[in-house]
Amino acid sequence: MDQENKITCIKAIHEMEERYSKLLLNYYNKEQKEKIFYAINDAIAKFHLTPMQTIIPSDKFTGQYCLEFHDDYDKKAGEFFEYILHTLDISHCEMG
């Protein structure tokens, strides 16, 4: 079975400190990568928030999306991240 067809759920990891919040989304195939991309763009349009975004590829079909909020005084990152998790049908998020 090649990497593109590997069936694995998107893994979410959340890290936070006082005014800092980060969501890591590990993807394992092209479809998951595209689904994450569209969920993030929908969240940006809905909440009018723009987190710092980094895409860290592992290979052609796997990698990690990293979303970070710095100085999140109003704690808006939580609702933003929950919307993305709900859109991606992720019911469990690990703590980093």
Read off the pLDDT of residues 13-35 as tens digits, 9 standing for 90 and up. Answer: 999 888 899 999 999 999 999 99
Average confidence score pLDDT of the chain: 90
Tokens found for residue 63: 């990698």
Tokens found for residue 57: 């590829």
Which of 16, 76, 66, 78 lies closest to 36 in space, CA to CA? 66
Structural domains of the chain, count = 1
Assigned domain for 27 exists:
yes
Assigned domain for 11 exists:
yes
Strands 11-16 and 94-95: parallel
Assigned domain for 43 exists:
yes
CATH of residue 25's domain is 3.30.70.260
Assigned domain for 32 exists:
yes
Phi and psi at 32, nearest 5°, equal -65, -40
Residue 6 has pLDDT above 60, yes or no: no
> What integer pLDDT is reported at residue 49 of this predicted model?
94
Q: If pLDDT is split at 50, 70 and 90, which confidence band does 71 have?
A: confident
Assigned domain for 46 exists:
yes
Q: At what angle do helices 30-47 and 77-87 cross, to 10 degrees?
A: 140
Assigned domain for 96 exists:
no
Domain hosting 28: range is 3-91
Q: What is the pTM of this model?
A: 0.87
